[in-house]
Amino acid sequence: MPWSSVIGQYRVKNILQRAIAEGRIAHAYCFWGPEGIGKDALALEFAKTLNCDTPVHRDGIIEACDTCKSCNQASVLQHPNIQLVFSLPAAKSDDGKSGSSILKLTDDQIRIIQDQLKAKAENPYYNISIPNATQIRIAAVRDVKKNISMSATQRGRRFVIISEADAMNPEAANAFLKTLEEPNANITIILTTSRRDQLISTILSRCQQIRCDTLPDQDIADALAARLGVATEEATLIARLADGSYSKACELLNDDLTELRAEIVSLLRAILKQRNYILQLSHQIELMTGDKNRNRIEKMLILLLLWLRDAYALSVSQNIDVIINIDQVTDLQNFVKNFAHTPLDRAATAIERSIELVRRNVDIGLLLTTLALDLRSLLVQRR
């Protein structure tokens, strides 16, 4: 597989490989699609390949050698031909009249930026996050213009990669539009965005737009295992929770899934309790929603869904190979023994619906209560 630093994205890799092979590199691209699927990773790999001193041609595929000076510079995000632009905090006296926006930042801010760039170089799926940096400002666009106007110091193709380009504020976007309107023969601008609808149409229409795909669970699980040494079972579970996003999978790794699962088990216990369930249920829901963390509730619901799906799969096939929560197989088998005659598939559908709702602005306490009562009527009263 070409460009192994980029997980999946076979279709997009083909498009870009063909562009390289045919020598038809666009002046501007917009790589769009959900967060954490590798848009920046694709842009960086594309730029690295087109700057490599000794590219490797194999089976009609062209790859960066990953050993030459140019590749080494690109790998640490220090290539003079590859400029990465991202949101920065507002600098003191950011009048934009002269100088670089970077030069006006404090030493602390610059240190944070360097650390963030290091993390990004190590993992192109890393989301650069700098305190108070929510916008790409006009000073950054002026930096780009200045950079473009200077002559190249190194051979190869020059790239400007604007990460999460939708963060450009209106002033920056208008200035940037002028840059797009004056294409340079040897310069390619790549915008990446997970909110394409936030980009002005005049910018979009000047770019070749390339949709990037969410990642298959298996690709995410394989990447977690290969890159981070995550055990297969955990990698499979996290991949299922990650919604096709490798960044999300990496974030989930930092969460305590054991704790989340314990809460789910408590909720299920309360739902399935024979008597006086109301009190225990409302107490459990209060505990779960106390910090009003929607994201956490969503993860818990997905875990609950995966658990019930496992139970359903076990109830119809008894084949434990299809199970994701393989470490809980005994609990699952016990559960299936007791609830095999209940509509587990409908219970799973009820949870799916709640996951949809939790992403909107529905009251989460009410949502969980409704779901719990639905599950109870499906699972308990039909036994």
Q: What residue ranges bind Zn ion (CB under 5 A)?
A: 52, 64-65, 68, 71
d(CA 368, CA 211): 35
- Select 16 or 379, whichever has its Cβ closest to Zn ion: 16
d(CA 139, CA 355): 41
> What is the nearest approach in angstroms of Zn ion to the Cβ of residue 51?
8
Q: Is the dihedral of CA 33, 34, 38, 41 positive or negative?
A: positive
> What is the nearest approach in angstroms of Zn ion to the Cβ of residue 200?
36
The phi and psi torsions of 27 (rounded to 5 degrees) equal: -75, -30
CA angle 6, 237, 339 (to 5 degrees): 150
Report which of 248, 220, 254, 245 is spatially closest to residue 235, judged by C-alpha positions.
220
- Select 65 or 130, whichever has its Cβ closest to Zn ion: 65
> What is the nearest approach in angstroms of Zn ion to the Cβ of residue 317?
50
- Select 34 or 55, whichever has its Cβ closest to Zn ion: 55
d(CA 307, CA 211): 33
> What is the nearest approach in angstroms of Zn ion to the Cβ of residue 114?
24
Task: Report which secondary-structure segment, H or E, holds 251.
Answer: helix 246-254
- Select 68 or 373, whichever has its Cβ closest to Zn ion: 68
> What is the nearest approach in angstroms of Zn ion to the Cβ of residue 129?
30
Give 327's DSSP letter. G
- Select 68 or 77, whichever has its Cβ closest to Zn ion: 68
d(CA 351, CA 305): 6
